[in-house]
Amino acid sequence: MFPAVDPVKFCPELYDPAPSLEGWTNYQSALDEREDLDKLVSDYVDRGFCRIIPTMDEAVREYGRQPVINKLGVVVKYNEAGAKKSRII
């Protein structure tokens, strides 16, 4: 069990939210492994770990501020049997 902590207040001065999505992309590994990325994200959505908000305007309405955007990457490893295992970073 984790100890209780005080809620952290959002400090916009610590973040640099992207003012525009124009030209924005994920890391090359996410582009190269697009099929695995789509499967992983779908699995996370299905299990309730995340949600997809289709537009920036909807995200701003949902959170009451400009969201901080992070690039996604995919790490791929193979086990001794040659089976592929992908993870989002």
Q: Please write the tens of the pLDDT for every residue from 27-76.
A: 999 999 999 999 999 999 999 999 999 988 999 899 888 887 889 999 99
Q: How far apart are CA 40 and CA 42, in angstroms?
A: 5
**Would you say residue 15 lies in a domain?**
no
Token pair recorded at residue 15 = 């973040």
Q: Could you tell me the residue range of the domain that residue 32 belongs to?
A: 24-88
Residue ranges of alpha helices (H) inside the chain are 28-32, 34-46, 56-63
Q: Residue 10's pLDDT is what?
A: 64
| CA distance to 22, 31, 60, per residue, from 88 (Å) | 23, 12, 24
* 18 falls within a domain: no
User: What is the identity of the amino acid at 5?
Assistant: V
Q: Residue 79, Cα to own-chain centre: how many angstroms?
A: 25
Domains in the chain, number:
1
